[in-house]
């Protein structure tokens, strides 16, 4: 028999050698929930035999897996490569040892900077990696009209990308207001995805009841914005694939307990969303979520199904997510299922990582050259950080964006309270034209895509107490965001970032405390994840001395310019009242 099907069959029947035979593994069967000792035969990239070792075909290579538990390779359905600040090939290097063998990523960060060309660069860099990396077509670029992004994606662009090889669904439909308000552009995007029958990923943090029903009826199939047990159960009941992000932003124990009350929740999935480089290096990827839910007392079968079979069903990829004949040979051998310690990772039939160490060389690609030319700002001077109060002396009223402080014991609630800013009004004294900031810091956002050269200014509270932070990792438009308490440090931090064509810099008292160079789209590096992670650790240390509001999941300054998160943000266009959908001036007089 010719062709791949024929080769597989003859390998099972012994007319050709298996390329790999794993003997004596304890297979956790995701279909039946059983665990039993068996052998697994692989021919090239596929599993072709699962059964008695005595009956197994002969193989050119064998692994004795006595005492190890075999589970399918992990499938991630909601994440952003850019959040780990490395290119797709570098991400693959780092994530494979954690058992990730397939990922569906939404490249909306790079798309905000570079548009279709950015998506294409990501797809190209991912081709042929041992980590199967698929992409969603980003649905909301820019995130709203309140920002200037580097690019806009039209419904036609999105429809075109949905037809690309390597693009496998519509990315998280974040602009749920546009969905519910009947926005014409959003409607066209949803219709085109529906017509193509592709997976539509969602984003519905606060929706419930009728609004949530309407959002799901629009076609959104999944949601990862799950902070509370109640809304999570509501989404499960309404047929959404609910993606729990692991323990950064939710209380695993609380969720594990609540889910135990359901007789098999069919559409429960774990995902990571954004994994900072240091977290990826030290805590892991999807495996970290698995460990957390296992520790929280969730049944191992449910944990494994949530990262293998169910995500494969969700993504309509029946050849993934299971150890069975005909499926892609993505297999993890675990030393300890309950601790989720991975001994060996096999991807596409090839052992790729052992005890956390990569076994294969991953060819580094260079993203399209234009990806390194996205910083369109020249050096800034102190005058670019000058603030002109409306009075020379005396008190003025200012609008400030206040970050919350949260002592909530529930992690999900705490993170939610931290990111939900509020707009407030307070008094600032001006003496000889100089502001006395008090508990406030200054914010400058510079449009950096060469679109209009716009810039804005505002005040923020509870975000930084000393020094300056400049960053192009400023969701979603990724303009140059500079926050700080004095203009000297702010100017210096900004120039450090501009000089490295993007990245992050922390400066205090004219001293550079930390710096991450991210020359690729101002978001990513092509250095190794470990190197970038070290920089990130340095940045987190700097944050502590500078009093920058940090969170293990993501530093809060990254979200200051994100105009779709309530209740107030500062974009390149000014201070944005998210609830009122209008801009307010920095000086309120």
Residue list 235-254, contact with its own copies (CB under 8 A): 236-239
Smallest gap from residue 355 Cβ to its own copies (A): 29
Q: How many whole angstroms separate alpha carbon 545 and alpha carbon 472?
A: 21
Q: Is residue 318 near its own copies by the rule CB under 8 A?
A: yes
Cα–Cα distance, 240 to 174 (Å, whole number): 15
Closest to 63 measured CA to CA, from 361, 362, 337, 331: 331
Q: Residue 480 CB, nearest distance to its own copies (Å)?
A: 36
Identify the residue among 29, 69, 77, 231 touching its own copies (CB under 8 A). Answer: 29
- Please state the closest distance from residue 139 (CB atom) to its own copies, in A: 13
Interacting residues with its own copies between 90 and 129 (CB under 8 A): none
How many other C-beta atoms can be found within 10 angstroms of the C-beta atom of residue 7?
A: 16
Burial of 257 (C-beta count, 10 Å sphere; 0-12/13-18/19+) = middle
- Residue 379 as a binder of its own copies (CB under 8 A): the answer is no
Which of the stretches 9-17, 100-108, 361-369, 531-539 binds its own copies when contact is defined by CB under 8 A? Answer: 9-17
What gap in Å lies between CA 493 and CA 509, rounded to an integer?
A: 11
If one counts every other C-beta atom within 10 angstroms of the C-beta of residue 368, the result is 17
Nearer to its own copies by C-beta: 55 or 409? 55
CB closer to its own copies, 66 vs 316: 316
CA dist 130 to 35, 88, 127, Å?
27, 11, 9
Q: Which is nearer to its own copies, 262 or 391 (CB)?
A: 262
Compare residues 305 and 449 and give the one whose CB is closer to its own copies.
305
User: CA 571, 576, 582, 588 torsion: positive or negative?
Assistant: negative
Contact pattern from residue 274 through residue 313 relative to its own copies, giving x for each residue in contact according to CB under 8 A and a dash for the rest: ---------------------------x---x---x---x
Q: What part of residues 38-97 is at the interface with its own copies (CB under 8 A)?
A: 41, 46-52, 55, 57
**Whose CA is closest to 547, among 589, 485, 503, 490?**
485
| Shortest spacing between CB 181 and its own copies, in angstroms | 8
Select the residue interacting with its own copies from 260, 264, 364, 386 (CB under 8 A).
Answer: 264
| 374 alpha carbon, distance to own chain's centre | 21
* 338 binds its own copies, rule: CB under 8 A: no
Least separation in angstroms between residue 108's CB and its own copies is: 21
| Least Å from the CB of residue 182 to its own copies | 3
Using alpha carbons, select from 522, 444, 443, 428 the residue that is nearest to residue 477: 522
Which residue's CB is nearer to its own copies, number 182 or number 369? 182
Give the separation between CA 455 and CA 466, rounded to whole angstroms.
23
206 binds its own copies (CB under 8 A): no
Q: In whole angstroms, how far apart are CA 550 and each of 407, 512, 533, 542, 553?
A: 14, 18, 16, 11, 9
Q: What is the DSSP string of 500-549?
A: TTSEEEEEETTEEEEEEE--BTTTBBSS-HHHHHHHHHHHHHHHHHHT--
Facing residues of 36 across strands? 27
165 binds its own copies (CB under 8 A): no
Residues 172-191 that bind its own copies (CB under 8 A): 179-180, 182-184, 186-188, 190-191
Which range in 59-67, 322-330, 345-353, 512-520 contacts its own copies by CB under 8 A?
322-330
Minimum distance of its own copies from residue 273's CB (angstroms): 22
For its own copies, the closer of residues 237 and 544 by Cβ is 237
Separation of alpha carbons 372 and 521, rounded Å = 6
Q: Is 362 in the site for its own copies (CB under 8 A)?
A: no
User: Is residue 391 a contact point for its own copies (CB under 8 A)?
Assistant: no
Q: Rule CB under 8 A: is residue 3 a binding residue for its own copies? A: yes
Pairing outcome for strands 331-336 and 568-571: unpaired
Q: In this complex, which beta carbon is closest to its own copies, that of residue 265 or of residue 484?
A: 265
């Amino acid at each position: 028999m010719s062709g791949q099907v024929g080769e597989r069959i003859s390998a099972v029947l012994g007319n050709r050698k298996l390329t790999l035979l794993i003997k004596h593994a304890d297979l956790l069967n995701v279909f039946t929930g059983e665990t039993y000792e068996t052998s697994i035969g692989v021919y090239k990239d596929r599993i072709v035999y699962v059964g008695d070792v005595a009956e197994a075909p002969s193989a050119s290579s064998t692994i004795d897996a006595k005492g190890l538990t075999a589970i399918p390779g992990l499938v991630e359905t909601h994440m952003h490569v850019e959040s780990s600040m490395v290119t797709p090939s570098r991400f693959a290097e780092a994530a494979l040892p954690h058992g990730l063998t397939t990922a569906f990523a939404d490249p909306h960060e790079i798309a905000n900077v570079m548009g279709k060309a950015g998506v294409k660069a990501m797809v190209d860099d991912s081709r042929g990696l041992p980590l199967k990396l698929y992409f969603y077509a980003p649905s909301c670029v820019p995130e709203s009209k309140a920002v200037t992004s580097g690019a806009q994606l039209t419904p036609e662009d999105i429809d075109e990308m949905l037809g690309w090889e390597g693009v496998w669904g519509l990315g998280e439909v974040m602009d749920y207001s546009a969905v519910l308000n009947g926005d014409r552009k959003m409607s066209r995007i949803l219709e085109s995805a529906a017509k193509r029958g592709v997976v539509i990923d969602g984003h519905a943090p606060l929706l419930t009841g009728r609004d949530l029903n309407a959002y799901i009826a629009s076609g959104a199939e999944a949601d990862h914005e799950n902070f509370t047990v109640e809304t999570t159960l509501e989404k499960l009941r309404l047929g959404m694939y609910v993606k729990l992000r692991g323990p950064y932003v939710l209380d695993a124990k609380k969720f594990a307990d609540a889910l135990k009350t359901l007789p098999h929740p069919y559409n429960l999935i774990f995902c990571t969303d954004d994994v900072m480089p240091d977290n990826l290096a030290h805590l892991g990827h999807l495996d970290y979520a698995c460990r957390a839910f296992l520790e929280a007392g969730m049944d191992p079968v449910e944990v494994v199904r949530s990262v293998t079979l169910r995500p494969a069903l969700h993504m309509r990829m029946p050849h993934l997510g299971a150890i069975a004949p005909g499926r892609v040979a993505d297999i993890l051998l675990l030393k300890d299922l309950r601790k989720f310690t991975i001994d060996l990772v096999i991807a596409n039939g090839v052992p790729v990582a052992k005890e956390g160490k990569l076994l294969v060389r991953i060819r580094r690609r260079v993203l399209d050259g234009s990806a390194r030319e996205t910083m369109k700002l020249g050096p800034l001077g102190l005058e670019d950080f000058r603030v002109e109060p409306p009075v020379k002396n005396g008190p003025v009223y200012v609008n400030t964006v206040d970050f919350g402080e949260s002592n909530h014991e529930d992690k999900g609630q705490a993170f939610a309270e931290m990111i939900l800013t509020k707009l407030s009004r307070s008094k600032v004294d001006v003496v000889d034209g100089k502001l006395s900031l008090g508990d406030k810091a200054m914010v400058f956002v510079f449009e950096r895509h060469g679109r209009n050269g716009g810039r804005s200014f505002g005040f923020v509270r509870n975000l930084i107490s000393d020094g300056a932070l400049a960053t192009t990792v400023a969701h979603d438009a990724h303009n140059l965001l500079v926050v700080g308490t004095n203009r000297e440090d702010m100017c210096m931090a900004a120039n450090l970032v501009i000089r490295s064509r993007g990245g992050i810099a922390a400066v205090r008292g004219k001293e550079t405390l930390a710096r991450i160079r991210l020359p690729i789209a101002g978001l990513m590096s092509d250095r190794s994840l470990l190197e970038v992670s070290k920089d990130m650790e340095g940045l987190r240390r700097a944050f502590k001395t500078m009093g920058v509001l940090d969170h293990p999941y993501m530093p809060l300054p990254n979200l200051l310019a994100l105009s779709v998160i309530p209740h107030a943000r500062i974009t390149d266009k000014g201070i944005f009242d998210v609830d009122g959908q209008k801009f307010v001036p920095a000086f309120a007089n």
